[in-house]
Chains A and B, each alone.
Chain A
């Protein structure tokens, strides 16, 4: 399946705008290759049988941001496996972290006449034109995991995802409790312009406003990945203020894991000399907590497949959904890490 996606992007890259035709052709191939699959699975067979009585199989187009972290991979898997289980045909497209790829994918979903379009927007802005096109085509839109910045909220049916501001709150509150409200904090921000980066910062800062003993002295983007997280933390630790830093707040686990390496290389003990709190709750973070290097991770649950397809089925049954659907989440500390580690799916 990935090969076809790659071909599609390759086509788009080679031929620019004209590449869209090639991309469509590649999508056709991709369709052909996926078409047989549901029939093989028991769920698919059931859907086909049921489909005979009702009408055709449900087709959902899903545009994923990319595979930038273990979290994202788990998110993708949850959606793909749930679609298979329910016999829903899923047209999956990987945007490789680029908004233009995602817009192209959404347009090709319109051209293919899917029943529902779902996507995790790369950044919050710039979606109105393509969402208008989708609305004109009469296709309902479900946003997953990240929101868009659109004035007209009739452009999408519902948003299923975590409340990033709440995650920022939780991280801040945990840190306030753990440090007794006194901390000099270095912050690793996510990709500039991304909803989780904006909201996790906002939520965290709201807690700081209530705790005058806590302040952020360094804040810089680590682009949600390990390499940049490590690189930026290295720079933080070489600044004249480095000795004051007592805590690190990272907007995701991957950046925290990179930063932990940088802290160790500076001859300090992550988790002790510098308290580290991050968000997501990926497996690697639980391992780091079990090793005593990470102090706390605020869970951001990626396993939204079941909720997503519940929403899809409800929409096709012409039900209206609340504009926002939350996801089940909790906060984990070192003491719980060893126990929880074997059960982590992502």
Chain B
């Protein structure tokens, strides 16, 4: 578009995206060839219906968590608490919907605020108390579920309120509502990080916090903001997951989803050491993981062995992404003919 402006920039928006995209494409190609009906799409009850829709629909909580996680990981941190924060936010929503007369927008705001607050707590531990991110967020990961259970008294809560059910089950323009929510969040995050200096600050803090500090970037504020944002994302994902099954189960909601989110970020090409990040990569990573799960279902792979092929596929993509591995592979290929 404006090539003269970008001439000196070696990084394009899609750079680094080729490997995760190749992984996803290969997986889809496999399904196109061997899984009958995988690409079948139809309109049912006025909305799109098919395995592909399931993938983007069930994948959206991980996409949402992944967006927050990408920014946290870009600063060189990690947020293990997102699954538990989902449980807290979902519980708050389910508790409030059962109160007659409680305004619905206030309910949505309340559960998103609770998520953000949990994120602020993580940010506080990491920036002010200088606790290692892994340990700081582990506190809420373990304790958060306890909080959610205290709120529900260990009981499952059921609800039928049409407005809350819509968040996870509704359709707009033929697409599931969670998909639209995750697209909106992707757009917003991309806008905030790529059209303002925020993205640059995050990358510089992750790359070299001391140099950024000397350059006038408030490392503390940047880190605090990304943890708060990750909490917000977890709140939104919790709302979707709770709404999806019209009930909340503090022990199960979002369980091990923090690992899926981290995996999505890594598969998407963002390094755990911090620095440069790719939001689109994370989205592709999340879809890759979800496609793998759906493939396992379609192939009727028993759940106790399903993690093995999944792990193999993920390792393959991670290896392809590693420049060191690719160099060795190339060297091996060059050496072998002679």
Q: How far apart sit A236 and B51, CA to CA, in the bound complex (Å)?
A: 10
**Interface contact B44-A267, CB-CB below 8 Å:** yes
Q: How far is the CB of A159 from chain B (nearest CB, A)?
A: 24
Q: Chain B: which residue is nearest A74 at the CB level?
A: B155
Residue of B40, B139, B145, B247 touching A226 (CB-CB under 8 A): B247
- CB of B40 within 8 A of CB of A238, answer yes
Q: How far is the CA of A13 from the CA of B137 in the complex (A)?
A: 12
Contact of B50 among A70, A225, A238 (CB under 8 A): A238
> Is A343 close to B, CB under 8 A?
no
Is B302 in contact with chain A by the CB < 8 A criterion? yes
Is A10 an interface residue, CB under 8 A from the partner?
A: yes
Main secondary structure of the interface of A (DSSP, over half): helix
Instruction: Say if the beta carbon of A284 comes within 8 Å of chain B.
Output: yes
What is the CA–CA distance of A90 and B6 in the complex, to the nearest angstrom?
A: 69
B25-52 contact mask (Cβ, 8 Å, vs A): 1 or 0: 0000000000011001000110001110
State whether the Cβ of B95 lies closer than 8 Å to any Cβ in chain A. no
Binary flags per residue of A203-233, CB closer than 8 Å to B gives 1, else 0: 0000000000000001111010111001110
Size category of the binding interface on chain A:
35 or more
**Shortest Cβ distance from B61 into A: residue:** A227
Q: Do B149 and A67 touch (CB < 8 A)?
A: yes
Q: Which stretch from A143-151, A258-266, A299-307, A317-325 is at the chain B interface?
A: A258-266
> How many B residues are at the interface, by size bracket?
35 or more
A220 vs B296: C-alpha distance when bound (angstroms): 10
Q: Which of A6, A10, A231, A267 contacts B58 (CB 8 A)?
A: A231
Answer whether residue A14 sits at the interface, using C-beta atoms and an 8 A cutoff. yes
| Residues on B with beta carbons closer than 8 Å to the beta carbon of A29 | none
Q: Is the CB of B303 within 8 A of A223?
A: yes
A220-B300 contact in complex given A2-B154, A67-B154, A73-B155, C-beta closer than 8 Å: yes
A231 to B257, CA, bound (A): 15
* Given A68-B252, A220-B300, A266-B49, 16 more pairs with CB closer than 8 A: A9-B142, A10-B139, A14-B138, A67-B149, A76-B154, A220-B303, A221-B304, A223-B303, A225-B252, A227-B245, A227-B253, A235-B298, A238-B50, A238-B54, A258-B245, A261-B246
- Closest 4 interchain pairs by CB? A6-B146, A221-B303, A235-B297, A192-B304
